[in-house]
Amino acid sequence: MDIEKENTDWSDEELEAAVDGYLKMLALEKSGQKLNKAHENRLLREGVLKNRSRGSIEFRMRNISTELNDLCLPYIIGYLPAKHLGAGVAQRVRAAMIAKGAFDPDDYSPTADDQALNAKVSRLEQRELVGTPRGIEKPQRTVGTTTSFLRDPLTKLWVLKNANGVCEGCGLDAPFKLPNGLHFLEVHHVQHLANDGPDWTTNAVALCPNCHRRCHYSSDKDEFTESLYGKVKRLKRYLMS
């Protein structure tokens, strides 16, 4: 049977069975128990996936790893994320994962509301997150009484956790902790979103309130902003369109 064709016409029931099997294996691996992938693959082929080959199921597992990796969630070590996952396949795999409670899509959805963004960050902070988020290359502008931008909560959380409670501008500890245990720092886009800066970890720093205001209002704001590129090695410069 052609594996490429096999991987384009899975039913919703089959996708959910694959996700179920994957999450079972992931739980075993995370708990430190021995994981026998060949055995689990065989069990799936004895059930809902009886018409699928071993190789087809393994490729589907790698699809699921791709989605988990994009969400900065742990994936099974033996199932490396597959490349070139088509948008249609990715959407259906993600829908099956949501149906099985693998994650809450609302936690990851961009928002321009600061209160909602912080609530999403707080919920994501409870998860075991790994890797670096993709972020948003061109955040969508929203216009109301003021102009704001849709921002990625995962990117904000990554920047805050990477700072580990220390301001990336002055090097001092955050002034206090929040009720969720996170140190209070503010995420600043070095090239402002209004100036076509991306909502990426390579354009964002965690700053104490003083340094954040300094970037926006001080007489030396340009010089201080420029100094951030020397202090924070992940930062990159982006051309304005």
Which helix (H) or strand (E) element contains residue 147? strand 147-149
Q: What does the pLDDT read at residue 215? A: 96
- Determine how many CB atoms are found less than 10 A away from the CB of residue 115: 8
Mean pLDDT by 10 residues, the chain (241 residues): 54 94 94 92 95 95 95 94 81 93 95 94 92 95 83 97 96 90 92 95 98 96 97 93 64
* Residue matched to tokens 């393994």: 58
One-letter amino acid at 222 equals D
CA nearest neighbour of 149 among 123, 113, 176: 113
Position 240 scores a pLDDT of 75
Angle between helices 12-30 and 54-70 (to 10 degrees): 70
| pLDDT of amino acid 241 | 64
C-beta of residue 160 within 8 angstroms of C-beta of residue 130: no
Determine the pLDDT at residue 8: 56
DSSP 96: H
Q: Rounded to two decimals, what is the model's pTM?
A: 0.84
pLDDT at position 229, please? Answer: 97
Cβ-contact 19, 102 below 8 angstroms: yes
Report CA 131 to chain centroid distance, whole Å: 8
C-alpha distances (whole Å) from 63 to each of 37, 42, 46, 174 are 16, 18, 21, 39
**Residue 96 to residue 56: CA distance in whole angstroms:** 17
Helix/strand/coil for 171: coil
Q: Determine the pLDDT at residue 50.
A: 95
- Give the per-residue pLDDT at 145: 67
